[in-house]
Structure 1
Amino acid sequence: MQTELNKVLTALQEFYARESFLFEKDLGERTLTHRLAVHVEKQFPGWEVDCDYNRLGERKLRLPHGTIVSTDDELGKSIYPDIVVHQREIPNNLLAIEVRKTSNHQPPEHDRHKLHALTDPHLWFAYGIGVYLVLGKKSVVSDVYVGGVIDQAQSAWLAGRLKDVGLGG
């Protein structure tokens, strides 16, 4: 798991080194998400990296009835992770990333609930790892989700690595 998290860390370092314009002009989260996905893609050869991908093979990512996780479509059933690292046709879901700007004043529960559901091994579309990122102009706050919950040890490890490379929040 730390191998994959190190790849995310490298992507974040490249993102911050090359994309400062996005923060200077206060561009939106979708723009940040897309540009971060470009850097994530470089770190995961052999995997597809997509934004707002709502499929598992031919099926839509749908939540079970009665879930507390809010959805992103008009029918209230589908969810769209910000960035995913996966293999589309198999399907094989490695990593889901939710991105927020520090200036986003909406409650973070929506993104956190999505990562809870996306990494829940009891749901059919489980991702091995979920990463919650809050992007500031010069720093990142993060949490790591595994098995449907925040993994405190991996979250602390990633926070320490972010601090080591000057991106700790």
Structure 2
Amino acid sequence: MRTELDKVVAALKEFYAREALLFEQDLGERTLTHRLAVEMERQFPDFEVDCDFDRLGPRTLNLPRGSIVSTDDHLGKSIYPDIVVHQRAVPKNHIAIEVRKASNHQPVEHDRHKLRALTDQHIWFAYWIGVLVLLGKSGVTSSEVFVSGEPHEELSKYLAQRLKEAGIGVA
């Protein structure tokens, strides 16, 4: 998993090197997410990288009835991960990433709930790793890694350290 997280760090480093103008103009999270996904594609050539992908194989990514995880659609059924690294046809779900601007004052718990659900081995084709990143103007202000439906403290510390070493970890 550390190798995969190192690729995420490399993508974030390139993203910050290339996209300073996006932060200067205070563009929205969707714009930032798309540009980060472009950098993720370079790091994961054997996978597809998509934004707001709401499928698990041929099925819509719906949560089980009674789930405590909040959803992203008006029907209250679907969730849309910001970025996914996966193989569409298999399906092989590798990494789910939730991206937030550090200036977003909405509670971050919604993103955490999504990553818990997306990495939960009991829910369909779970993602192997979930990553939450808060993007500040000059670097990542906070990050968290999820595995098997739970935050993973050791990998979260590893990711924070690698971001700091890359010069883009602000926290």
Fold match (TM-score > 0.5): yes
- Letter aligned with residue 61 of structure 1: L
Q: CA deviation at 1:90?
A: 0.7
Counterpart Cα distance in 2 of 1:81 and 1:144: 14
Q: Is residue 2:151 matched to residue 1:158?
A: no
Deviation by residue 1:33-74 (Cα, 9 ceiling, x = unmatched): 000000001000110000000001110001011111111111
Deviation by residue 1:57-110 (Cα, 9 ceiling, x = unmatched): 110001011111111111110110000000001100000000000110111111
Q: CA RMSD in A?
A: 0.6
Determine which structure has greater relative contact order: mean sequence separation of CA pairs < 8 Å that are 6+ residues apart, divided by chain length.
2
| Other-structure match for 2:82 | 82
- Secondary structure at the counterpart of residue 62 of structure 1: coil
Aligned length: 169
Counterpart Cα distance in 1 of 2:6 and 2:26: 27
Structure 2, unaligned runs of 5 or more: none
- Secondary structure at the counterpart of residue 86 of structure 1: strand
Scaled by the length of structure 2, the TM-score of the pair is 0.97
| Other-structure match for 1:30 | 30
Q: CA deviation at 1:157?
A: 0.5
Q: CA deviation at 1:125?
A: 2.7
Counterpart Cα distance in 2 of 1:22 and 1:3: 28
Counterpart Cα distance in 2 of 1:83 and 1:54: 10
* Structure 1 ranges of 4+ moved more than 3 A: none
Scaled by the length of structure 1, the TM-score of the pair is 0.98
Percent identity over the alignment is: 68
Counterpart Cα distance in 2 of 1:46 and 1:165: 24
Structure 1, unaligned runs of 5 or more: none
Q: CA deviation at 1:167?
A: 1.4
- Secondary structure at the counterpart of residue 35 of structure 1: helix
